Structure 1
Amino acid sequence: MDITDFFYSKRQEGLLVGDYNAYRQMCKRRLATIRKRLGLANTKKRYDRDAQAVITTEHIAKDKSHVQLLILRSERSWAHAMFLKSLSEDTATTGATRKQIVSRFNKAQKLAFELVRLLDTPESTATSKDILEATAYASSLKGLEAFELKHWEDALKAFGVARTVYTVLYGTTKSEVFTEQLQATVEPSIRYCAYQLQLPRGMDVATIARQYFPKDESPKIVEALEKLDPQAFADQMDVDTPAAGMVTSVSWRGRTAAVEEADISIALHAAQTAEAAYNSQDQQGSTDAFDAVLLAWQDAVDATRKAIDERQAEGVSNADQKMQNLHMTWTMVNYAMICWRVGRNRVMISNIMTPKKNKKGGEVVSEEVSSKKIGHLKEEIALYDAILQSLDQISHLPGVAADETFTAELNAKASYFRALRTSSIAASHVLLNNLRNALALYARASQYITSALPHLPSAPSDPSHAGLSVPPTSAQELQQLLTGQVARYRALVEMEQMAAKAGEQQGTVLDRLNEWPEKVDFEKGIVQWPPRVQPVPVKPVFLDIAWNFIEYPGAEARAEQEQERETQHKRGGSLLGRLWGR
């Protein structure tokens, strides 16, 4: 029959389009449609309460729509009560309004228990799951009525039944509808009732629900629950192993804080279990592997925040030892969650920087276009921004600002990630051919990493904080890389400036080394590559000496020609030359 799924989906549908009054009207229209289909519509012009047909087990066995009819009638009363409560939140609730709210809750729970009575017969052909769902639904409505009357113990009994039934059903079906019911209404109500009854804070919600479950009043429900889950009413400490017990204390920066809240203890144990499961996985580089750990630590953060809010509502001073323990626990769980979040972001950055591989497993040889590279760099910069925001959140946690050593480490790690972020921005300017901007950004990144190196811790961090760990060797490698990039782009910028002043020149720079540097034209190249074939002098001194001793072919003919030219020159000299003996 899927009773829980039916009324939960109807509530979501009705509240999505409006408030509780709109949901009430939707239930009214839906009731009219089902009554007309089943032949139960009131044909008289005037409404007659006694004329309504009584639903029996035979009706349910014949058509399951009769079950929906009872649920919608109950939901209509529930929506009316919730609408009146929403109106009373802004104004003071009068006695008449509160009485009407209780009356509507009472009618809703009576209709729901009537459904339980009809299903709990062999003629209805209902399964044990249907009976359990109807019982949990009716118990939650009964708990709301007792809650409104401030009968805290009766409310705990009713909500205890609903909580136990929904927990067992979720364990067998894994349907998220049951967890939504637990988180939305049942568990917050149990916690508030326990607060009103001044129950020990060390008791968690599951323990309270088991203790206040009325086993004597509903033996059939107990039998059905134990059939589905033999450990449904067993103490958690008897079921689990000693290692899976409650976390009694946490450590932070050499100090220890006691954990007294049961919800925080359970959430911390769940987070430690998730971390152990992550460390045992083979593919730790996948971002999906971080989800379970992050969810577990988020639950621990929520449980700690809830405990702090409750203490503050009670007027407990921050100087109280229990409040200080809660603040230390708050700092520890937030820092652990942020470390895992940063680790996930770093894995995503490494996946972006890793070259893609083809279907055969080899790296892609073809280069990406500049627009695609810039898009990847934008993704990296956004992730680095998220990391820096997370580091800023750590600095606002209680007790962090007073720890100078830890603050210096955080600032050093922030400078390290700023250096990486700035270098990514510089790489994008390189792709856009803005060499001056790239040089300035690389120089700024080099300043960041230089200031971070002296304050980075050399000792390995806790496994829970590995996501925020920065080894000194990685920082030194980054410093060397940035130093090289600064030198490279300083040279490129200088060449660009010299090329801007250069005129029309011929040849490469190597051929014009004797010219003034401002006239150098780098666009024609620095050297000729591949080099041209040119004559090169070989052993010039040796060949000059050997010239006088080697008889080259045709040397005699050339000597005779030179003698004739000299003789003719002497004969054909000028008058002054002959006078002077020339």
Structure 2
Amino acid sequence: MAPPVLLDQLLHERTAALLQSATDYRRYAHHLSSRLHHLRKTLKVRRRIPAKAGKSASTTPADSAAASKYKTHVPSVTELSADKRFAGIFLLAAERAWAHAMETKVTMENNAAGAPERKRHILSRLAKARKHAAALESIVLNADSASNPFTDYEILQVVTYTALLAATGDIESRNYEKAVASFALAYTGLSGLVLALATADASDDDNDMADLYRDLISSTVEPALKFSAIQVDSSARSIAILALAHKYLPTSPVDKLVLRIAKDETKAKELLSGKSDAAEALSAIPTIQWRSHTAQLRDTVVAATILAAGAADEQLFSEVLLPSDDANKLSLREKAVRFDPALLAWQDAVDAVHEAITEVTNSSIEGAQQRVQELYIVSTYANYSLISRRIARDNVLVSQLRSALNKRHKKTSSSKLAVNKSVSAKVRATTGIYDTILQSVSQIIELPGVAADEALSNALSSLQKYYSSLRLAVAASGFSQASVDASTYWKKAVDEINCVDEMALNLDDVDNDNNARILFNVDVPGTRKSIMAGAATSQSFSETAKIVEETKLEAEQNRGSQPFVIDTLTSAAIWFDNRTGRTKFVDFERLVDLDNVASLTPVPSKPVFFDTAFNFIGYEDGIVQEATAAAPTKSGIEPEVTAPSQQDEKKTGWFWRR
């Protein structure tokens, strides 16, 4: 036999229908009509039965038209005892009426024409839905325990569904006093259903159903309950939802049903009493102290989240941050994981304060401006705590990466100037975390009230320069030590670490404030010493590499010719020998060439030298003169001798007359 149609099935069908537009609600209503028709057909139930035997007794035509000859079949207790599926006739009819009302409401929101008529139609549909659900509720509650086929869990579903429909009709009619009571009843019932399902050994179906109940509570019931309570009493704005539900919960058997079906008796009593951690948090944390500012807590939700964050902090400090044997046994990865509960708790506190600021800003209560100022102080305190722990977690992560990077550098030979891919990847990851830390410090600087605190602002500015110097130092290690980029990064890192003011980092309340203790716990002298050493090493390698390059360039230019021994011995050439691993200052091997000086022989002279010298003496000019003087003249006329030009006088000799 199929299970009865109750709240769990209706929620599944609502979720599957994806109700958003008027068309979706209309399609959902048609689906419900089809289901109701098939259910009646299966149970062999006539939709209408004769109202009376014979004709109506009405005398006037109007009364005859208004009087119905038939009435809707209402399942009896006997039918419900025989088959629980008869309950689906009530609930499907109620859900269909609710779907028609929501369709009209969405249509009215999109088109305001005919608003009064549509509003009356919405209220009539919701009243009809409530009537169907209330009829089933009265049957299951008034039935004898012996003849009642429904379990406590199913009865609570019926009561909760009826309260939801009643609350929807009351809030549509703006009857907020009834609406807050109905929503309180629905909240208690849904929370009881969650307690009955959400157990350690629950099945997947039970967990999915519990998630549907939680979604309905968070998306519909809690906002409507808060809104209705504020309309009734403006002071309810700072009261927790659980306390509001307990305050406005009407007399109902829902409390007994919750106690019967809840698997966790402690949580059930907490639900029904309204006394939870959120309700008692204000008495535990009445005020918040941040630096020189004090703010009073008025919102129980904010107080509860801060109290939970404080509890998570205690565990974090005891396990990770405080020096102890257990903390020393943890690896860096395990320490980073231990930060997650505290970070989530403080994030919840930040979200709660943000929501409280939004609610107070949009409200018209008295003293709203003062409450907003107090909430801004609480917001700064919560954000400051959250970011401080985030920076502490990032420091743990970056210390893990830096230790791995140092091990990698030790394995690499000192003579190897190139950086492999593994080192480059670790350098990129480390610089990325330092970028995150610098961004977090910038977020603290931008918090309200920090700019007016001169001591804290100076400390944060020095902290920013400190982490910037570490980032530059790590980035420098990603290049070869002899490169220009490494020297540039090391120089910038030295400038940044020299600008850090150690006195500014020593705040007055650093020992009493956990946030300041984990935020400004830095080693400036040790960092400055390591950066100076790295910069000196890089400069030494850079100068050596520069001299080597100059020597190579000179050797390339003088290729094919051997330098003089005296120049080699007096030069300041310094280079690194890769074969021996030592630095050479002079080339003593050139001293061997001095032994060859004694065996040098002069170059033999050749006759061409003498010929050249003889030609320069003017031997040809003498021959020409003698030949001219001795030559006879045939005509008796002396030959004309031209004087040599000025250019020929300059270019004399055998080389110029070839």
Give distance in 2, aligned partners of 1:470 and 1:80.
Answer: 62
What is the aligned counterpart of 2:220 among 185, 190, 194?
185
Describe how 1:431-446 pairs up with structure 2 within 5 A: 435-446=483-494
Give distance in 2, aligned partners of 1:322 and 1:483.
Answer: 51
What is the aligned counterpart of 2:301 among 263, 277, 280?
263
Give distance in 2, aligned partners of 1:324 and 1:240.
Answer: 22
Q: Kindly provide the amino acid, as one letter, of the partner of residue 209 in structure 1.
A: A
Contact 2:185-2:249 at 8 Å conserved across structures: yes
Between 313-322 and 397-406, the greater mean CA deviation after superposition = 313-322
Contact 1:305-1:330 at 8 Å conserved across structures: yes
Give distance in 1, aligned partners of 2:91 and 2:404.
Answer: 58
Give distance in 2, aligned partners of 1:515 and 1:76.
Answer: 106
Q: Which runs of 5+ in 1 are unaligned?
A: 357-362, 507-511, 535-582
Deviations 1:95-121 (A, max 9, x none): 233333334444444454455456555
Contact 2:40-2:89 at 8 Å conserved across structures: no
Contact 2:434-2:467 at 8 Å conserved across structures: yes
Match of 1:221 in 2: 254
Q: Kindly provide the amino acid, as one letter, of the partner of residue 275 in structure 2.
A: Q
Match of 1:210 in 2: 246
Q: 1:277 to 1:82 in 2, by over 3 A?
A: farther
Match of 2:168 in 1: 144
Q: Kindly provide the amino acid, as one letter, of the partner of residue 24 in structure 2.
A: A
Describe how 1:304-453 pairs up with structure 2 within 5 A: 304-314=353-363, 320-353=369-402, 355=404, 370-430=420-480, 435-453=483-501
**Pairwise CA distance, 1:252:** 0.9
Contact 2:288-2:378 at 8 Å conserved across structures: yes
Match of 1:542 in 2: none
Identical-pair percentage:
23
**Pairwise CA distance, 1:253:** 0.7
Counterpart check, 1:527 vs 2:582: yes
Match of 2:564 in 1: none
Match of 2:540 in 1: 491
Describe how 1:64-83 pairs up with structure 2 within 5 A: 74-75=94-95, 77-82=97-102
Give distance in 1, aligned partners of 2:365 and 2:181.
Answer: 29
Match of 2:186 in 1: 162
Deviations 1:177-202 (A, max 9, x none): 43322221111112211221234244
Contact 1:495-1:522 at 8 Å conserved across structures: no
Counterpart check, 1:275 vs 2:277: no
Give distance in 1, aligned partners of 2:41 and 2:134.
Answer: 24
Between 311-320 and 257-266, the greater mean CA deviation after superposition = 311-320
Q: Which runs of 5+ in 2 are unaligned?
A: 47-67, 199-209, 263-267, 320-325, 413-418, 560-566, 590-658
Partner SS, residue 166 of structure 2: helix
Taking only aligned residues, the RMSD between alpha carbons, in angstroms, comes to 4.4
Counterpart check, 1:236 vs 2:291: no
Give distance in 1, aligned partners of 2:172 and 2:541.
Answer: 77
Give distance in 1, aligned partners of 2:84 and 2:422.
Answer: 58
Give distance in 1, aligned partners of 2:25 and 2:402.
Answer: 51
Number of residue pairs matched? 506
Give distance in 2, aligned partners of 1:300 and 1:114.
Answer: 44
What is the aligned counterpart of 1:102 among 115, 120, 123?
123
**Pairwise CA distance, 1:388:** 2.7
Q: 1:66 to 1:296 in 2, by over 3 A?
A: farther
**Pairwise CA distance, 1:349:** 3.2
Partner SS, residue 135 of structure 1: helix
Counterpart check, 1:14 vs 2:17: yes
Give distance in 2, aligned partners of 1:248 and 1:34.
Answer: 55
Deviations 1:423-452 (A, max 9, x none): 33333344xx89322332232233333323
**Pairwise CA distance, 1:384:** 2.9
Deviations 1:326-346 (A, max 9, x none): 221121112122223333333
Match of 2:641 in 1: none
Contact 1:416-1:449 at 8 Å conserved across structures: yes
Compare CA radii of gyration and give the structure with the larger one. Answer: 2
Partner SS, residue 272 of structure 2: coil
Give distance in 2, aligned partners of 1:79 and 1:382.
Answer: 53
Counterpart check, 1:253 vs 2:291: yes
Q: 1:34 to 1:471 in 2, by over 3 A?
A: same
Match of 2:56 in 1: none
Partner SS, residue 506 of structure 2: coil
Q: 1:280 to 1:4 in 2, by over 3 A?
A: farther
Give distance in 1, aligned partners of 2:423 and 2:85.
Answer: 60
Give distance in 1, aligned partners of 2:336 and 2:97.
Answer: 47
Contact 1:147-1:155 at 8 Å conserved across structures: yes
TM-score by length of 1: 0.72
Give distance in 2, aligned partners of 1:373 and 1:115.
Answer: 72
Q: 1:197 to 1:484 in 2, by over 3 A?
A: same
Give distance in 1, aligned partners of 2:482 and 2:94.
Answer: 70
Q: Kindly provide the amino acid, as one letter, of the partner of residue 25 in structure 1.
A: R
Give distance in 2, aligned partners of 1:315 and 1:241.
Answer: 24
Deviations 1:488-517 (A, max 9, x none): 2222233333333332599xxxxx995645
Q: 1:189 to 1:288 in 2, by over 3 A?
A: farther
Match of 1:301 in 2: 350
Between 86-95 and 407-416, the greater mean CA deviation after superposition = 86-95
Describe how 1:516-555 pairs up with structure 2 within 5 A: 516-517=571-572, 520=575, 527=582
Deviations 1:35-83 (A, max 9, x none): 5588459999xxxx98997666777778877767766665555455445
